[in-house]
Structure 1
Amino acid sequence: MDGLELLKKNWKSQEASLPKVSYDEIYQMIWKRSSSIVKWIFIISICEFLFGVLFNLVAADEEYWNSLEQLDLKEITMWVYGINYLITFYFMFRFYMNYRQINSTSSAKQLMKDIIKTRRTVKSYILYVLIGTAVTALAYAYLIIYHHIEDAQVADSSAYVFDALDWLKFTGIIVVALGAFIGILWLFYRLIYGILLKRLKRNYTQLENLDCD
C-alpha cells in the first residue's frame, strides 16, 4: 500500500467535519505525481528526437548520400526527414502543452480530462511512429526494386524474370522482416512510454474513486 492509499484510508476514518483538507491533500498528491509523469513524457520525447538527429548525422555520411543519389532516392529521403521532423516537433509541442495544462489544472475533473488527453496524445504518437516506419520501409523497398528493374543492364534478362512464387517468397521475407522490426519497435515504446501511461491510468482511477467518495 503506497502513501496515497494510506492517506485515503486515514481520510475516510476521520470525522465528517474535516473532509475538505484531506481531500485537497489527496488531490495535490495525485496532481503532482501526474504532472511529474507528463513532464517525463516530454523529456523522453526530446531525448528521443535528439538521439534520432544525432544518429542521422553520424550515419548519413557522404557515401550514404551518394548511394541514395544513385538510387534516385536522395531527394525523397530529404523530404522524408523533413516531414518526420515536422510531425515529431508537433507531438513534442503537444506533450509540452499537456504538461502546461496539467500544471494549471485546479480541479479533479479537469485533471482527469487532461490525463485522458495526454494518454491519447502518447498513443497517437506511438501509432504514427509504427505506421510511418512500416509505410516508409515498404515504399523504399518498392522504389529500390523498381530502380534496379529499370536500370539493370544485363546480357541475359531471363535471369531477372520472376514468377508468381518467387515474388510471393520475396514479399513474404520483406513482410516477416519488417514485422519483426516493427514488433521490436513496439516493445521498445511499450517499455519506455507504457510504464508512464500505466501510472497515469492509475492516477485517473484514483481520481475517479476520490471523486465518488
Structure 2
Amino acid sequence: MDGLELLKKNWKKQEATLPKVSYDEIYKMIWKRSSSIVKWIFIISIFEFVIGVLLNVGLADKEYWNSLEQLDLKEVTIWIYGINYLITLFFVFRFYMNYRRINATSSAKKLMRDIIRTRKTVKSYILYVLISLAIVTLAYVYIIIYHHIQDTQVTDNTPYVFDALDWLKFTGITVIAIGIFLAVIWFFYQLLYGILLRRLKKNYTQLENLDCD
C-alpha cells in the first residue's frame, strides 16, 4: 500500500489513534504526483524530438540525398521532415501547456479535467505518429516502384507482367510488413508513454473516489 492509499484509509476511518488527514492533504499528494507525471511526458517529448532531428541530420549525408534524388524523393522527403517537425513541435507545446495547467490547478475537478486533457493529447500524438508513418511508408513504396518501372529498360517484359493475384499477394505482403512495423512502433510508445498514462488514469480514479467521499 502506497502513501496515498494509507492517507485515504486513515482519512476514511478517522480513528482516534491515527492522525487526522484532511481532504486537502490527500488532494495535494495526488496533484503533486500528477504534475510530476505530466512534466515527464513533456521532457520525454523534447528528448524524442531532439533525437529524431539528430538521427535525420546524421543520416542526411551527401550519398543519402543523392539516392533520394535518383528516386525523385528528395523534395518529398524535405517537405515530410519540415511538416513532421512542425506538428511534433505543436504537440510538444501542447504537453508544455498541459504541464502549466496542472501546476496552476486549484481544485480536484479541474485536476481531473486536466488529466483527461493530457491523456487525450498523448493519445492523439501517438495516433498521429502511427498514421503518418503508414501514409509515408505507403507513398514511398509506391514512388519507388513507379520510378523503377519507368526507368527499367527491358526487351522482354513478360517477367514484369503481373496479374490480379500477383498484385494482391504483393499488396498483402506490403500491408503485413507495414502492420508489423507499426506494431513495433506502437509497442515502443506504450513503453515510452503508456506507463505514465496508466499512472495518470490511476490518479484520476483516486480523485473520483476522493470527490465522492
> Following TM superposition, by how much is the alpha carbon of 1:14 offset from its aligned partner in structure 2, in angstroms?
2.2
**Who is 1:23 aligned against?**
23
Instruction: Tell me the equivalent position of 1:50.
Output: 50
Q: Which residue number corresponds to residue 162 of structure 1?
A: 162
Which whole-Å deviations, capped at 9, do the CAs of 1:55-75 have from their partners, x for residues lacking one?
111122111110110111100
Instruction: For 1:24-103, list aligned pairs within 5 A.
Output: 24-103=24-103
Give the alignment's TM-score, normalised by structure 1: 0.95
Q: Unaligned 5+ residue runs, structure 1?
A: none
Runs of 4+ with >6 A deviation = none
Cα deviation for residue 54 of structure 1 reads: 1.1
Where in structure 2 are the equivalents of 1:1-213 lying within 5 Å? 1-14=1-14, 22-213=22-213
After superposition, the C-alpha distances for 1:81-107 in whole angstroms (9 at most, x for unaligned) are 000000000000000000000000000
**CA–CA separation in structure 2 for the residues paired with 1:74 and 1:159:** 30
Q: Which amino acid aligns with 1:105?
A: T
Residue 159 of structure 1, CA deviation? 2.5
Query: Which shifted more, 85-94 or 161-170?
Result: 161-170
For residues 71 and 198 of structure 1, the distance between their equivalents in structure 2, rounded to whole angstroms, comes to 43
Q: Residues of 1 paired with 2:13 and 2:134: CA distance?
A: 54
**Equivalent residue letter for 2:14:** Q
Provide the secondary structure at the position in 1 that maps to 2:22.
Answer: helix
How many Å apart are 1:21 and its aligned residue? 6.3
Structure 1 SS opposite 2:106: coil
Q: Distance in 1 between matches of 2:76 and 2:184?
A: 26
- Post-superposition offset of 1:155: 2.1
Give 2:88's aligned amino acid: T
For normalisation by structure 2, the TM-score amounts to 0.95
Q: Which range moves more in the overlay, 71-80 or 20-29?
A: 20-29
| Contact map agreement 2:102 2:111 (CA 8 A) in 1 | yes
Q: Deviations over 1:122-161 (max 9, x none)?
A: 0000000011101110011011111111222222222222
Amino-acid identity (%)? 77
Comparing 167-176 with 133-142, greater Cα deviation is found at 167-176
Q: Secondary structure at the match of 1:30?
A: helix
Q: How many residues align?
A: 210
Partners of 1:153 and 1:60 in 2: CA distance: 30
Aligned equivalents of 2:118, 2:154: Cα separation in 1: 56
Give, as a single letter, the amino acid of the residue that structure 2 aligns with 1:114: D
Cα separation, 1, equivalents of 2:149 and 2:95: 44
